[in-house]
């Protein structure tokens, strides 16, 4: 069954009495080269890191299964999390030929990820691969990153390969001082390195979105590259630094850390050697780690 054939997609939708839902940001791929290329980008990197052992893919939002099918052909095991219950019977038909896939009807953002992974993929090394709905891209990536480490510091995931809106891809892959550099960029840089792989034009989807998409692979560090006293504080500092982008780092952080006076925050910034008028987008992840540790020290003293 060609799950990228327009007539097949429409027949399945009609058969099961459903259709694409704007509320879930659904756009189904109609060019079979695209899901193949996304799956290959995920699998090839994973296999280069783990040439032996059982490997698995965690997919978020499988739709009718075009990418899922390609992942099933590449990986030993696939777990696909789909929020739309009307797509579950369709996936039962489109994935019937594969015995290495499990489809779970859940909201990914409400999962207790540790227990979910242990239950479903405990014996495998795992990569995440997904065609993410535009409206929920950042929350999903942040949820994955914030749950990316085991207690011993090792990464739970080998990589996160996602198709996102092109302008979002620019933010994910930006570097300090770029206009696209923001909170999610800095967070990604703490856990790994994001690389843009290729663009996907609107005519590859049904219905066609109004924007071009891009595929990005976040290659996660096996072990922590940067050390901080508190990852929770690091996330808070990064979020605070970009909460009010037009303001200086001092003013933005002052709004986010009410337990400290503006003078105390200014003292931290100057002590680390930064200009008092610097903005958050000028800081590297190393800078944010240093800033985070200083905030931890001052708040906990």
3-state secondary structure the chain: CCCCCHHHHHHHHHHCCCCCCHHHCCCEECCCHHHHHHHHHHHHHHHHHCCCCCEEEEEECCCCCHHHHHHHHHCCEEEEEECCHHHHHHHHHHCCCCCCEEEEECCHHHCCHHHHHHHHHCCCEEEEEEECCHHHHHHHHHHHHHCCECCCCCECEEEEEEEEEHHHHHHHCCCCCCCCCCHHHHHHHHHEEEEEEEEECHHHEECCCCCCEEEEEEEECCCCCCCCCCHHHHHHHHHHHCCCCCCCHHHHHHHHCCCCCHHHHHHHHHHCCCCCCCCHHHCCHHHHHHHHHHHHHHHHC
61 lies in the same domain as 143: yes
199 lies in the same domain as 120: yes
- In this predicted structure, what is the pLDDT of residue 1? 84
74 lies in the same domain as 211: yes
> What is the reported pTM?
0.93
184 lies in the same domain as 216: yes
Q: Mind listing the pLDDT tens digit for each residue in 78-103?
A: 999 999 999 999 999 999 999 999 99
16 lies in the same domain as 165: yes
Residues of the chain with pLDDT under 50: 24-25
44 lies in the same domain as 179: yes
- Domain that includes residue 136, residue range: 6-220
CATH of the domain at 51: 3.40.50.150
- In this predicted structure, what is the pLDDT of residue 26? 62
Q: Tell whether 154 is covered by a domain.
A: yes
- In this predicted structure, what is the pLDDT of residue 268? 97
194 lies in the same domain as 243: no
- In this predicted structure, what is the pLDDT of residue 120? 95
Q: Tell whether 182 is covered by a domain.
A: yes
Q: Considering its fold, how many domains does the chain have in total?
A: 2
70 lies in the same domain as 185: yes
- In this predicted structure, what is the pLDDT of residue 109? 95
């Amino acid at each position: 069954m060609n799950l990228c054939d327009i007539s097949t997609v429409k027949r399945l939708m009609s058969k099961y009495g459903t259709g694409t839902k704007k509320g879930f940001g659904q756009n189904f791929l109609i060019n079979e080269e695209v899901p193949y290329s996304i799956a290959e980008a995920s699998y090839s990197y994973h296999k280069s890191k783990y040439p032996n052992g059982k490997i698995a893919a965690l997919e978020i939002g499988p739709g009718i299964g075009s990418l899922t099918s390609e992942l099933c052909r590449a990986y030993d095991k696939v777990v696909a999390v789909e929020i739309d219950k009307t797509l579950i019977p369709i996936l039962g038909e489109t994935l019937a030929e594969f015995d290495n896939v499990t489809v779970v009807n859940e909201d990914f953002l409400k999962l207790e990820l540790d227990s979910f992974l242990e239950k479903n993929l405990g014996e495998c090394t795992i990569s995440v691969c997904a065609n993410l709905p535009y409206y929920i891209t950042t929350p999903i990536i942040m949820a994955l990153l914030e749950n990316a480490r085991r207690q011993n510091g090792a990464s739970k995931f080998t990589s996160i390969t996602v198709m996102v809106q092109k302008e979002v891809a620019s933010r994910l892959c930006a570097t300090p001082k770029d206009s696209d550099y923001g909170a999610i960029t800095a967070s990604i840089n703490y856990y790994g390195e994001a690389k843009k792989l290729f663009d996907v034009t609107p005519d590859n989807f049904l219905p066609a979105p109004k924007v071009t998409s891009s595929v990005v692979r976040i290659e996660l560090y096996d072990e922590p590259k940067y050390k901080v006293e508190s990852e929770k504080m690091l996330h808070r500092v990064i979020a605070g630094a970009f909460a009010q982008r037009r303001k200086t780092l001092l003013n933005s952080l002052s709004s986010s850390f009410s337990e400290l006076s503006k003078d105390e925050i200014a003292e931290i910034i100057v002590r680390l050697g930064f200009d008092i008028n610097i903005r958050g987008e000028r800081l590297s992840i190393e800078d944010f780690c240093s800033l985070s540790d200083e905030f931890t020290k001052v708040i906990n003293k």
